[in-house]
Structure 1
Amino acid sequence: MVELFLAELQCKDDGNDKDDDATRSISMLKKLESVIWSLITSNGRSESRLWLCNTIACSDSVTPQAQRELFVSLLRSKPSNVTLASQVLRMIIERRPNKIGHVIAKISRLLKKFFKGNPRRILQWFSNFAGVGESGHRKGARAISQFSFVNRDICWEELVWKGNHGQSPAVVATKPHYFLDLDVQRTVENFLEYVPEFWSSEELANSLKDGEILQIDTKFFVDCFVDMMYGENSKDIWEVINEFFLEESFSYLCHHLLILLEEPDLVAFLKSLQKYLTITMDSKCFTRPSYWPEVLLFMLDDCASASDLLLLNAILNQSRQLLRLVRDQEHKEQYDTIEEVLLEMNMSPSSSNAPFGIKGIKKRKVEVVKLLGLYSWILQYQMLQNCETPESWEALFLKNGISFRRVENYDLLPDRFSEGSGSDSGGWNSSKSKRKKKQKTRKKRRRNSDHRDADADFDVSSVRQSSDRSWLLSSDGYSSSWNKVDLPEHLAKYCFSTWMKQNLFQCYAEMIIERRPNRTRPFLAKKATYASKSLKDIRWEGTMGDHLQ
């Protein structure tokens, strides 16, 4: 039977790092760590970084102002991250093209550069004149027609027509479809050469403000904006970027940007993120994917590395993926090693108190968190192997002090066994229903007689036993129904949370005393109050960061 170590145990901390039992436990877990690390890096570290980035994206404690500061600092770091800046600009173009469109409308030199010597772009933007019966000119065609009428004294002669003779403003004003006879390419080339006023005109600016022009050649504009960001420190571009970071969700930004960072840059981002995190000890938060990695981030002063974060996140949030990898034939060597570790741990006398032995050794706080995470994964692995029947699960609940309520599923029962299972409190309707059922029974009596013997031998309880069983558990306040597929992961996380909860207050007390000596006295008083209570009597609520402000 799997021991989950959920009971509140007091471990003696004598400061001896060479305690034999604890040292053996740690040695075995370190062996397991190397195996898991080989699994998650079998194809490089990029996948484990993606897992971590997706987890960080789940954080809900970062304010819009904080996320703006975080991502702007990434863009302004040295050396400049052109790849990241390009991705940000593409995201803005995709989701808020009008913001960039307003910037383009102000920069005539950029527009002239975009169209000069490029007939394809000229035709795409300026040749959208309306025909007979159509509502009106579009895009750059509308800008040319409007500007040409308003400024006909300086630009009408630059219009080039395809026919034998040109068109007068008066004729075209009454028949706008005549613009279809305009030689657009030559006309725009003339405007580039001889009509500079057009490129800074209100007519052209209005046609650009929706940002549709960005779709003609997105790469051109992205490259130009990157040059403007870093070469000219363009105030307009940076304002758009700042506003974008303020308005978008933290999740969206993380999913699209963090994966582009090299590992040192990702660690730098996470260290910057640390000061914006609000970690609470409310147990409702413990199941949030980003909670424990955030706790580890909060401990970055204790030398948590990128590898520590990648490993802990993989153990806690990708545990099923790791189990699938272990079963893969390609990783038979790792599977054999894990089985050896399990055998060694089961035979070792230290295994009866392993999590508490780990806590009792004075090691880096981050190391303790990681080792406890490894042990919770071992428990998940063992539960998956040893608990296959409803009876084995209920035995595990009872042994480990987890109260449960059965949730039976009768989906496999034939309809005839569920008939009449509704309420009988319907009065007249109920009586009428019974009469109808009685009549149907008489009509079908002869037809059903052939099945009586089979029904007599049919054991309803056997159907119930064969159906999947679920449980409501005290581990989450009976709030969710758990089946054998999800139970190993749920209980492993519950064990880890329990161990961490028993150890968290001491860790944070030490950190607060170290970082804010002037706030030590009130905190020590609070610590003394907690120390006088049993762990089960403590309400794990409130913000840990309150004492770090």
Structure 2
Amino acid sequence: MVQLFLHVPTEGGGSANNTVAVEAKRSLLNNVESIIKSVIKSAGRYEARLWLCSTVSLVHSLNRHDQRDLFLDLLEMKNSRRDVAARLLLMIFYKNPKMVGSILARKGYILEEFFRGNPKRIMQWFGHFAVTGESTHKKGAKALSQFAFVNRDMCWEELEWKGKHGQSPAVVATKPHYFCDLDVLQTVENFLEYVPDFWSSDELADSIQDGEILQIDAEYFVDQFLYLMYEENSKDAWCVVEDFLMDEQFSSLSQHLLIHLDEPRLLDFLKSLGKLVRPTLHCKELAFPCCWLEVLLSGHCNDHISLDDLVLLNCVIAKGRQLWRLMKDEEQKEEWEQMEEILKGINHLSDADHFAFMNSLVETEFHDALKWIGIQSWVIFCELSKECKSGDSCESLFSRNKIEFRKADNYSLVQNDGCSVSHMPDTDDEDSTRSGHKRRKKNRRRKRRRHKSDEDKLDELLELGLSNGESGVESHHGCWHLSTDGFSASWDIADIPDHLSTCYFKIWVKWVCFR
């Protein structure tokens, strides 16, 4: 039975000097740390970095001006031009194209080069003249027709018609659909060659303002804006970037930009972030999944922490479920076998021995305390994931660990990946928190092969959320309100490892670090 150590002993109620137990515990956790590092290094480094970026995106104690300055510093780092800046511009193009369109409208030379020698682009933008029954031309066609009428004495002869003869301004003014007979490609090429004023005209600028033209070839305009930003140091271009960085959510910027960073830049970004975040009282209560990171980055050890440290901490504290899956991958068979051997003896401590270990962490650096408590919480997650296989086993676990519980009226089924529908405390898209419970309308039935072991059948039941009536597992597995959160939420089997290991982590970090 897993010992959760969710109750802090009263003053004088624990042994603070059991050095043998403390050293034995630290040695076992050292072995766990080594295996985790090996797995991350050999198979999951990129994934683990993505998990860290996901946690960083949840940081909430950063004001808008600091957010802008933080990402501006990132844009000025070496190599950020081609990945971070390019990605940011694509975000702006997609979310607020008008910001860019207003600048393009005043950059006639960029538009000239965009269309010159490119018939496809010309037709995409200028080939939208109104046919019979339509009231107005669209996009560049509207700009072309308006400019041609206003400046007909200067440029009407440059209009090329498909028919045997051209159309006069007077005729086209009364019958706008005649513009459908215009040879658009040849006309625009004539304007490129002989009518330079068109490319800086108000008519063309008006058609560009909404930024719709960016959709034709976003990559081209990204290159142009990168040149404006980094070569010409255009104030207008940088103002667009700064305004966007002020208005956009920190979570969105982080999720889209940080994943492109190499490790040195990511670490520099996190250290800069640590100098700007202002952890609140909620952070010391670990009210949010990223609170530990905000407190850590804002502390005195910021300059000495490595990316390896942050990746490890994030894996065991915030991404326990994902680390568990990575560890159990077939390619990590050797490491997982080593981990199983360690797990057989790692949690066999008395309350006094555990308290002695925690007491030994009180004088350590915050980073070290986080590491040891985080690794122990992940060990608890692993043991709970193996043990919580039925309603009876969960209720026995609650009772042995003095957790009050009561059955919930509603039951959440388990998804095919073993994650519950109702509670998924990790922060990735696939592991984001769900507040409500969903019910399946139909229970799918799957035949079992009789020669499978009871454990195999039970694993399948947990994956499918069903019961075949042979294993003794309830069809809904069990769903409970627990005293660990004041009976405020219902938890089902797939949630129990996450919830209880997180409870352990919060209780002991607050006791060790925030008293």
Please indicate, yes or no, whether the TM-score normalized by the shorter chain is above 0.5.
yes
Give the 3-state SS of the residue equivalent to 1:472 in structure 2.
strand
Distance in 2 between the 1:467 and 1:283 partners? 36
Distance in 1 between the 2:121 and 2:352 partners? 74
Distance in 2 between the 1:100 and 1:244 partners? 11
Q: Where does 1:186-197 land on structure 2 (aligned, <5 Å)?
A: 186-197=186-197
Change (3 A) 1:110 1:354: same
Q: Aligned-residue CA RMSD in angstroms?
A: 2.8
Change (3 A) 1:371 1:202: same
Aligned to 2:304: 303
- Find out whether 1:174 has 2:183 as its counterpart: no
Q: Which amino acid aligns with 1:89?
A: L
- Find out whether 1:374 has 2:383 as its counterpart: no
Structure 2 unpaired stretches of 5+:
414-471
Aligned to 2:439: none
- Structure with more of its chain in helix, by fraction: 1
Distance in 2 between the 1:138 and 1:467 partners? 58
Structure 1 unpaired stretches of 5+:
413-462, 507-549
Distance in 1 between the 2:359 and 2:351 partners? 14
Change (3 A) 1:497 1:24: same
Give the 3-state SS of the residue equivalent to 1:172 in structure 2.
helix
Distance in 2 between the 1:346 and 1:119 partners? 71
TM-score under structure 1 length normalisation: 0.76
Q: Deviation at 1:474? A: 1.9
Give the 3-state SS of the residue equivalent to 1:222 in structure 2.
helix
Asked if the contact 1:409/1:464 (under 8 Å) is kept, the reply is: no
Asked if the contact 1:105/1:209 (under 8 Å) is kept, the reply is: yes
- Find out whether 1:481 has 2:482 as its counterpart: no
Which of 485, 509, 513 is 1:500 aligned to? 509
Q: Deviation at 1:29? A: 0.7
Tell me whether 365-374 or 151-160 shows the greater mean CA deviation: 151-160
Q: Where does 1:132-211 land on structure 2 (aligned, <5 Å)?
A: 132-211=132-211
- Find out whether 1:330 has 2:331 as its counterpart: yes
Give the 3-state SS of the residue equivalent to 1:43 in structure 2.
helix
Asked if the contact 1:408/1:464 (under 8 Å) is kept, the reply is: no
State the number of aligned residues.
452
Tell me whether 63-72 or 130-139 shows the greater mean CA deviation: 63-72
Change (3 A) 1:464 1:41: closer
Distance in 1 between the 2:123 and 2:50 partners? 42
TM-score under structure 2 length normalisation: 0.80
Q: Deviation at 1:355? A: 6.0
Tell me whether 58-67 or 490-499 shows the greater mean CA deviation: 58-67
Deviations 1:378-417 (A, max 9, x none): 11222233444444434433443333333366999xxxxx
Q: Deviation at 1:470? A: 2.6
Q: Deviation at 1:20? A: 4.0
Aligned to 1:541: none
Query: Which of structures 1 and 2 has the bigger CA Rg?
Result: 1
Change (3 A) 1:136 1:302: closer
Q: Deviation at 1:285? A: 5.6
Q: Deviation at 1:354? A: 3.7
Q: Deviation at 1:59? A: 2.5
Distance in 1 between the 2:81 and 2:61 partners? 26
Identity %: 47
Change (3 A) 1:199 1:384: closer
Tell me whether 229-238 or 481-490 shows the greater mean CA deviation: 481-490
Deviations 1:306-325 (A, max 9, x none): 11221121112221222233
Q: Deviation at 1:359? A: 4.5
Q: Deviation at 1:240? A: 1.1
Q: Deviation at 1:178? A: 2.1
Distance in 2 between the 1:465 and 1:121 partners? 63
Distance in 1 between the 2:389 and 2:147 partners? 78
Q: Deviation at 1:351? A: 8.6
Which of 470, 480, 484 is 2:479 aligned to? 470
Asked if the contact 1:127/1:141 (under 8 Å) is kept, the reply is: yes
Aligned to 1:516: none
- Find out whether 1:270 has 2:270 as its counterpart: yes
Change (3 A) 1:35 1:65: same
Change (3 A) 1:360 1:188: same
Aligned to 2:107: 107
Give the 3-state SS of the residue equivalent to 2:408 in structure 1.
strand
Change (3 A) 1:167 1:388: closer
Aligned to 1:529: none
Distance in 1 between the 2:41 and 2:269 partners? 22
Aligned to 1:89: 89
Q: Deviation at 1:176? A: 1.8
